[in-house]
Amino acid sequence: MVARPAPTPAPSADAVEFVKFCYQRRKVGWPELYDEMCGVAGRGLFRGWGPDDLATHGIGFSLGQMPALAALVTEIVTEDRARAKARTAVAVTPAGAPASAG
């Protein structure tokens, strides 16, 4: 019989906020963000939560939990970068440009 690790709970809204918090501190992608997340968890910088607290919210740092964490991080980073790109793509009328006739 093969021992299997206990399933990781689905990430909560608090888990998503933790990833966003870490991403705001250091705008990098996976795997660099993993290092930031470990540091934040180790120092309790997010709501005073350590790794055990985060595990109850669906954030696991073990090798077996890494694929799920990487997927969550990738989703959040991709969404943030898309929002930033959309903000910069907004057309701005240069100063002194003639107003369009309506």
- Residue 5 within any structural domain of the chain: no
Residue 26 included in any domain:
yes
- pLDDT one-digit tens code per residue, 18-73: 999 999 999 998 999 999 999 999 999 999 999 999 999 999 999 999 999 999 99
Residue 7 within a domain: no
Q: How confident is the model at residue 3 (pLDDT cuts 50, 70, 90)?
A: low
Look at residue 98 and tell me if it is in a domain: no
Q: Quick check: 80 pLDDT over 80?
A: yes
Q: Please name which of 73, 84, 75 lies closest in space to residue 23, comparing C-alpha atoms.
A: 73
Enter the tokens of residue 21.
């918090």
| Position 87 in a domain | no
Q: Are 51 and 40 in contact (CB under 8 A)?
A: no
28, part of any domain: yes
pTM for the full predicted model: 0.75
Contacts of 34 (CB under 8 A, 6+ apart): 61, 66, 69, 70, 73
Segments forming the whole domain that contains residue 45: 13-80
Between 100 and 73, name the one with better pLDDT: 73
In a domain, 95, yes or no: no
85 in any annotated domain: no
Task: Give the count of domains, the chain.
Answer: 1
